[in-house]
Amino acid sequence: MCGVPRPSQSVTNGVDTLERMTGSGTEMPTRYEAGAVEPRWADSWIERGYFHAQVPDDPSRAYCIVIPPPNVTGRLHVGHALGRTLEDILVRRARMRGLEALWVPGMDHAGIATQVVVERELRKEGTEPRDLGREAFVERVWAWKERYGGEIIGQLKRMGASLDWDRERFTMDEGLVGAVRVAFVRWYEQGLIYRGERLVNWCPTDQTGLSDSEVEHEEVDGELLTFRYPLSDGTGHVEVATTRVETMLGDTGIAVHPDDERYRDLVGGTVRHPFDGRDLPIVADGAVDPTFGTGAVKVTPAHDPTDFEIAQRAGLPLLNILDAEARINQNAAEEFYGLGRYDARQAVREELEKLDLFVSVEHPYRHSVGHCYRCHSEIEPWMSGLQWFVAVDGLKGRATEAAMDGRITFWPERWRKAYVSWLDGLRDWNISRQLWWGHRIPAWYCPDGHVTVSLEDPDACAACGSAEIEQDPDVLDTWFSSQLWPFSTLGWPDETPELGAFYPNAVLVTGYEILYLWVARMIMSGMSLAGDIPFRDVVIHGLVRDAHGRKMSKSLGNVIDPVEIFDLYGADALRFSLARLATGGQQDIPLSVDSIQGGRNFANKIWNAARLVLEALPGGEPQLPPDERLTAPQRWLLARHQHCVAEVNASLDRYEFAAAAQAMYRFFWSEYCDWGLEMEKERLRSDDPAVAEDAAKVLAWILERTLRLLHPVMPFVTEEIWQRFGIGETIVRAPWPEAEEYAGHEVLGSDAEATWPFVEELVTTVRRFRSEHGIPSKTRVELRLVGRETGAARYAGFESEVMRLAGASDISVVTAGDATGSARLLVQGETVLVPVGELIDLDAERERLQKRLTEADEGRARSEAKLANAGFRDKAPEDVVLAEKLKVERFEREAESFREQLAELG
């Protein structure tokens, strides 16, 4: 055993392995200290290679999830913890089921995002990134990646994520660089990638183009300004409206709707630009909405996508009046040159007012403006030269079909619709980024303008042989490499054994915010390049917010740092809390410290229940006693446990994590601890060693299986306890409890389950009675069930438990109702006499009875009203009607009893 880590040492205060293995002499502190236990297990699991997956011979034994690679921009936040927790639950369960469960770790280079944070850091040091030069800058980013990549790995390990670290990948590692190259070249050769000059979404701050998906539209209060263009022939004016009046410097035409009577005669004519005297043609175009504004539109082809298209159709020239930083360039009238776009807006307006061309302004005017998803600057539609695009029409079809025909299932299902309709409206994807950090576009240009795209870096132009070739300075959109993640991490384009076994992946878990940016593109590229769906299931979860549903942000000061939580409450606590909140129905997930404390309390509850059971366990593998020795409460608990197993499995099969967590919580706390342990305690301390041993065995057996059930959600505390059973090396690879197993015990427990409701209500009713009368817990009362001899069947097998839990000295059945001096409690319609004599306060008793009487009367009235309805009697199912009739009888009996008692009390 030399050198085997013993993660539990700190908690057991040095109890040695042998003692732990035999279960004797185990000291468990009264509180579970997650912070001391978890880091040891986290390391130990990895050291022992438990998370390493082999490539199975039988592909049906393969189960694979790839981590949504976190950006190397910085440390992980609780949002990441949610997704990783859900994935870990799935992977750990699959692993326990005996599958080769591979969870691929890795990170994303996150082109623009990382470049921005590194630039910011450099500027803080007083260095202008552009001065550094490309090579040195990229080196700096790699250094950044090493630092934060390491921190992210540390965080993931600490939270217990069972990733196969032997297979860690990075979107810019050697293999993935190759995969990106192959993908680009293949699509280029298929005509799915092309180079073109188009308006792109330009971020003037980050100085790069963006795809449509990277632009966030937001409603802002702007202004709608109307001004006049004089007709060139001096016969009048045309009024146009705009929210960005500075763009009029780049106007090259006026457009009206072809059917618009008002302008029919003007089409073909021109207006004169007031600042530089250019004549702008008036053209007709169907894209113009004649009902908006004046029905005439100024056309700025170089700075508006609609205008660009109009210009293409009408043959209007492009006039680019902005530079890369969105300042007015030399193409505009001289007096505006060099102005920023917002200053220019003001200056143009003033100039128009001077020339008496200003008509009116509407302010505030609410309209939608695109912003950069990284830096939030306003996006400028801009001509930035030739850029590379992916022609999505060649990819959409198969990606849509895969979701429509059920090969890919979305959970919850509603996201499928969102996905399909997004694909439907998708336009070509701009993949050129004017950045330094990323995959360099594998295209080379010679002085004659030939383009060479190739797998290997070329020495000469493929068309003319010129050796004077230069590579495209741009890099690819970061999502271009991310989209290959499900297969590139498995070795694609090589046909590796991993790719053969683990592709398609089983499931992808991610937040809805990257459904389009990432998920949709993985499906498109997976279908096209890897020849199959990338994953069978897509699980979409909400975004983690603070306790009141607000976004977590540094400025609000409500950010929860996962590691802080791990240290304070434990990773298990956070994991359980997140799982319990992950309902799927709602869009976002409010996480509060209270909720995490709830998880911590649960871990502590498990720990303490285990303390009790393990102290009593004689040692060895927990085995059930023979069926005939099982008591009714034991059979009941077994049956409840089995229901819990079934419920958890059914929930997880549907990715209903909250329901699964809730089922475990309810079973363990409310049934196993509150009732099960409380009932068994007596037997555990029995003088008869056989009785005590049986009780311990039953409790231990159920506990051990429950630990396995809980393990995927709370890996640490379950492992820590499970070790003490001494039945194996690790719970990580212990078998997963299936619903079908031990079905026999369910049957075995059915009699006890049928008895249970009466037993539970009897105990609760007596407890309530005692509480209402302040009867001290040490005072024993007698319980007499009024009825025939068979009345005892109502609590058969639970006699001693009822007595102990209700604080009774005796329980019996009496045939006649000698009720003198007794309180009469009603339990499921049966009368239970409690001889109390002077014990009770008569006023309190009157109050109690009056309250119960009201409840009974109300209940009866409800049921009678239902039965009075002929439609109900005729049309409702028989059993429902019968149940209603029984209710009336019961309420009647109860009410009668309460009235009698009240009368007796006077």
Shortest Cβ distance from residue 906 to RNA (Å)?
25
- Classify each residue of 590-618 as buried b or exposed e, where b means 16 or more C-beta atoms within 10 Å of its C-beta: ebbeebbebbbebbbbbbbbbbbbbebbe
Shortest Cβ distance from residue 776 to RNA (Å)?
8
Six-digit token string for 246: 């500075």
Nearer to RNA, 130 or 875 (CB): 875
Shortest Cβ distance from residue 593 to RNA (Å)?
9
**Given CA atoms 739, 743, 745, 749 in this order, what sign does their dihedral have?**
positive
Residue 454 to residue 451: CA distance in whole angstroms: 10
| Pairing mode, strands 106-107 and 169-170 | parallel
Shortest Cβ distance from residue 604 to RNA (Å)?
3
Nearer to RNA, 217 or 788 (CB): 217
Residues 6+ apart with CB under 8 A from 836: 773, 775, 781, 821, 822, 823
Nearer to RNA, 678 or 753 (CB): 678
Shortest Cβ distance from residue 621 to RNA (Å)?
22
Shortest Cβ distance from residue 24 to RNA (Å)?
17
Nearer to RNA, 108 or 671 (CB): 671
Six-digit token string for 755: 């008895």
Shortest Cβ distance from residue 893 to RNA (Å)?
12
Residue 645 to residue 745: CA distance in whole angstroms: 12
Residues 6+ apart with CB under 8 A from 9: 15, 40
Residues 6+ apart with CB under 8 A from 829: 889, 890, 893, 894
Q: Cis bond leading into 504, ω under 30°? A: yes
Nearer to RNA, 124 or 778 (CB): 778
Residue 678 to residue 606: CA distance in whole angstroms: 15
Residues 6+ apart with CB under 8 A from 381: 199, 200, 201, 202, 303, 304, 305, 308
Shortest Cβ distance from residue 678 to RNA (Å)?
6
Residues 6+ apart with CB under 8 A from 114: 71, 72, 73, 141, 144, 145, 437
* 73, 113 Cβ separation under 8 angstroms: yes
Nearer to RNA, 241 or 408 (CB): 241
Six-digit token string for 204: 């003037």
Nearer to RNA, 244 or 711 (CB): 244
Nearer to RNA, 355 or 886 (CB): 886
Nearer to RNA, 604 or 723 (CB): 604
Residue 169 to residue 180: CA distance in whole angstroms: 14
**Given CA atoms 746, 748, 754, 758 in this order, what sign does their dihedral have?**
negative
Pure H helices in 51-200: 78-96, 111-124, 129-132, 134-158, 174-189
Shortest Cβ distance from residue 245 to RNA (Å)?
9
Nearer to RNA, 33 or 323 (CB): 33
Shortest Cβ distance from residue 68 to RNA (Å)?
17
Shortest Cβ distance from residue 683 to RNA (Å)?
13
Shortest Cβ distance from residue 474 to RNA (Å)?
23
Nearer to RNA, 167 or 890 (CB): 890
Residue 318 to residue 309: CA distance in whole angstroms: 11
Shortest Cβ distance from residue 377 to RNA (Å)?
17
Shortest Cβ distance from residue 215 to RNA (Å)?
7
Shortest Cβ distance from residue 367 to RNA (Å)?
4
Residue 565 to residue 77: CA distance in whole angstroms: 11
Nearer to RNA, 396 or 600 (CB): 600
Pure H helices in 816-877: 842-868, 870-875
Residue 91 to residue 52: CA distance in whole angstroms: 12
* 69, 482 Cβ separation under 8 angstroms: yes
Nearer to RNA, 691 or 814 (CB): 691
Residue 830 to residue 791: CA distance in whole angstroms: 9
How would you write 798-828 as a 3-class SS string?
A: CHHHHHHHHCEEEEEEECCCCCCCEEEEEEC
Pick from 418, 533, 545, 421: which is nearest to 487 by CA? 533
Shortest Cβ distance from residue 852 to RNA (Å)?
10
Nearer to RNA, 12 or 44 (CB): 12
Nearer to RNA, 6 or 367 (CB): 367
Shortest Cβ distance from residue 396 to RNA (Å)?
14
* 100, 64 Cβ separation under 8 angstroms: no
Nearer to RNA, 94 or 659 (CB): 659
DSSP string for residues in 456-480: SPPSS-TTT--S--EE-S-EE-HHH
* 538, 504 Cβ separation under 8 angstroms: no
Q: Which residue has the tokens 């699959």?
A: 94
Which residue type sits at 439?
H
305 C-beta neighbours (distance < 10 Å), count: 15
Nearer to RNA, 156 or 280 (CB): 280
Residues composing the chain: 906
